[in-house]
Each structure stands twice: as C-alpha cells, then as structure tokens.
Amino acid sequence: MIPLSAFTVFLGCVSALAAPASQPVTSLSDALVSKVKTNMKQIATHSWEIGTALEALTEFEWPSLSVFGGSLPPPVKLHSGEAADVIQWATQIVKAKDPNALPLIDGDGAVGDPASIGTAVLLTNWTRTDRSDHEFSTAAGHQLKYLLDVAPRTSDGAISHRADQVQLWADFVYMAPPFIAYYGALKGGSGGLSLLKIAYKQCKLYRQYLRDSSGLWQHIVLGIGQDHNHWATGNAWAAAGMLRVLEAIHHSKLASQMKNEQTDLKSWINEIVSASWNHQHSNGTLYNYIDQSTSFADSSSTALLASVTYRMATLTSDNSHIPAANKAYNLIKSSVDSNGWLRNTVDPETFNTPSKPGEHSPEGQAFVILLQSAYRDYHQALASRK
C-alpha cells in the first residue's frame, strides 16, 4: 500500500505528464480519508454495508489482495499484519454465524446481501495459518449453496434478490456474483470454471431484465414493490459488481477460456458508465434518479460510478470518460466534511429521499474509499505507461 502522504507527492510528480483534461489538482488528504474510513467502520451494520466496507478496506489498504491487484488465487501465506483488519472482521462474522443458517449473516430478507461478505471470508480461509481449520471454508460453502441451491429464481435462472418472492434488484449484482466469481477463481479447474460462468450468467440475466433502451438499468423488477426508475446507486452497484466479476475472471488461471465473457462484461459496464455520465450535472454530481430533473443530487452514487470509471480506464486504457470522473472526484472532495462524513447522500434504505440531517450513509463512506483506491491506481497506471 502507498501511504496517501507519499501518494500526494507521487501525484505531483505525474502532474506534468500528458493526463486527460480536468485532472483534479489535489488528492483527498490521507488524514481526511482516515476519518472517512473510521466512520465507515463505525456505522456499517447491515450485511451489505459490512460487505462493501470489507471490499473498500481490501482495495484501499491491501490492493495486491483485491481482484484488481494481480493474479488469483492470492498468496497462501500473508506477511505479518497483512489484511489483519479485513480478516478480523470476517472472523467475527463467521464466529457469530447462526450454525443452523446457510447465509453468513442475517440479510434482512435479502438473498444477495450476505454474500457480499463472502469474498473476505474466502480470503480469510485461503490465508489461514491453521490449515486444519475448516470453519471458514464451511461457512463460505454454505453461503454458496444457499445462492445456488436454495434461493428462489426466475424460470430462466436469475437468482432472486429477495427471499420471500422472486424479485430482481440492481444491487444484487454487486453482492452475489463477485463472491461466486471469486470462489471460482480460487477453486480453479472445471469446478472453478463453472462458478465463473455462473457469475457471468447472473450478470447477463440481470442485464436482460433490468436494462432498458436508455442504456440505464431499472432498480427493481418483478414481484411486489417494483421501482422502474433509473436509480443512480443501483446503476453504480451493477457496474461495480460486473467489474469485480470481470477482474476475477481476468486475473484467474481460467481467463483464456472466458474471452468472450470478458468482452461482454466490458461492454455492459461501459453501457452504464456512458449512459450515466450523459446525465452528469455541471458541478460533477449525478442525481439520485439519474435522468429525472426533479430528483436530487446524490454523492454516494457519484462516488461509486467514478470509481468504476477510473478502474475501467486503468483496465482498458480508454480515457474517454475520465473528464467526467474527474469532475465527480472534485465533487466528492467538496462533499466530505472536515470530520470525514460524506454529505448529500441518498438514504440507502428509502432509495428516494436524501439522508436526514445528522444521519450518514455507510455505503457512501465505503464508496469514498473505493473511489480513492481507484483514483490512486489509475494514476499509478497512467504514470507507468509514460
């Protein structure tokens, strides 16, 4: 990990290079990012909030262990203290797990959300010092079994995001397919290839159900309580989830057997990125319902979509959306207060109202960390190509 203090110096060194227009002048300070991270860990309590926070910690603090960091599987033996916070949190979840339940944690009625913690549990199992301890492997296996064998589905195989009815939410794509793909990348062989293809197929099916002619995804379809609006966070969840599936495939030993799938995923991610930034406002923000002028500005989705944009540019060397990401980055910088709280967020539990005064979005805090990680890695890649 590059400390942000060193990263700030690094940015100064690369600023003279031929970078895309609208490059931010300065990075978020290391002290402020530290506050954002501390706040995130304090208020993340729901399953999807914890899963997103664990992913943010991994990408920011332990980038070589994330799906963006290099070849998979990761090393079996970690250096002293490496990923200690991620492993400790994942361990607490597994130790507290209901032994009679297949999901890792109560999902508040959601099928997909508990699986968001699964990647950290798999990493913990893979790098455990006691090789005779199968507790983490069993917990991850039970979570996978729930998704593949127990959860309700559509007739063509899309796993429902809700346990009580067949209903598809854009959010699901960030929660479950990345876990299934990571499981496959670690498993390897024919079994691993099967899981990677399942993760890809879930992305494909969800896109078929949720994407419309605008290029954007609807939030919720099927069942009772649908939301056909183009929720910004839902679109960001979908793009970010497909990106993690893509990178799990790309860095696995099975990548050569899934070239077409990787091409598809890149195209599907870019659909969302392109369609979303078409509705970016002059100050860099996206509205909560992206294409509705009567909606309100939302910094959460803006941060997550900007992180996806930097990641895609790093992967493909296509900088066409970097000016939009840079405007968004500057907006996020101005939206984080001196105490490390992201302001102007949507209430993540209502979807359609701003967070109330004095309340904060756990996922929004994580999105700032994901954005900072992607921004850092993009500029490192940019410098290495010069």
Per-residue pLDDT, 24 = 61
Confidence of residue 127 (pLDDT cuts 50, 70, 90): very high
User: What value does the mean pLDDT take over residues 213-221?
Assistant: 98
Written as six digits, the tokens of 171 are 């959010």
The share of the chain scoring above pLDDT 90, in percent, equals 91
User: What value does the mean pLDDT take over residues 81-87?
Assistant: 97
pLDDT tens sequence across 319-353: 999 999 999 999 999 999 999 999 999 999 999 99
Confidence of residue 194 (pLDDT cuts 50, 70, 90): very high
Q: Per the structure, how many domains does the chain have?
A: 1
Task: Round the average pLDDT of the chain to a whole number and report it.
Answer: 94
- As a whole number of angstroms, the distance between CA 363 and CA 37 comes to 11
Output the domain CATH number for residue 71: 1.50.10.10
Which residue range is the domain that position 82 belongs to? 4-384
- As a whole number of angstroms, the distance between CA 222 and CA 83 comes to 39
Question: Over 70: is that where the pLDDT of 160 sits?
Answer: yes
pLDDT tens sequence across 3-44: 443 444 333 333 323 345 456 658 999 999 999 999 999 999
User: What value does the mean pLDDT take over residues 274-295?
Assistant: 98
User: What value does the mean pLDDT take over residues 50-78?
Assistant: 96
Q: How far apart are the first and last CA of the chain?
A: 22
Per-residue pLDDT, 178 = 98
pTM of the model: 0.94
HEC readout, the chain? CCCHHHHHHHHHHHCCCCCCCCCCCCCCCHHHHHHHHHHHHHHCCCHHHHHHHHHHHHHHHCHHHCCCCCCCCCCCCCCCCCCHHHHHHHHHHHHCCCCCCCCCCCCCCECCHHHHHHHHHHHHHHCCCCCCCCHHHHHHHHHHHHHHHHCCECCCCCECCECCCCCEECCHHHHCHHHHHHHHHHHCHHHHHHHHHHHHHHHHHHHHHHECCCCCECCEECCCCCECCCEHHHHHHHHHHHHHHHHHHHCCCCHHHCHHHHHHHHHHHHHHHHHHHCCCCCCCCEECECCCCCCCEEHHHHHHHHHHHHHHHHHHCCCCCHHHHHHHHHHHHHHECCCCCECCCECCCCCCCECCCCCCCHHHHHHHHHHHHHHHHHHHHHHHCC
The share of the chain scoring above pLDDT 70, in percent, equals 94
Handedness of CA 245, 330, 39, 81 (dihedral sign): positive
- The residue assigned the tokens 């479950």 is 176
Query: String of b and e for 197-222 (b: at least 16 CB within 10 Å)?
Result: bbbbbbbbbbbeebbeeebbbbbbbb
Per-residue pLDDT, 386 = 76
β pairing state of 168-169 and 220-221: antiparallel
Whether residue 119 contacts residue 179, with contact meaning beta carbons closer than 8 Å, is answered with: yes
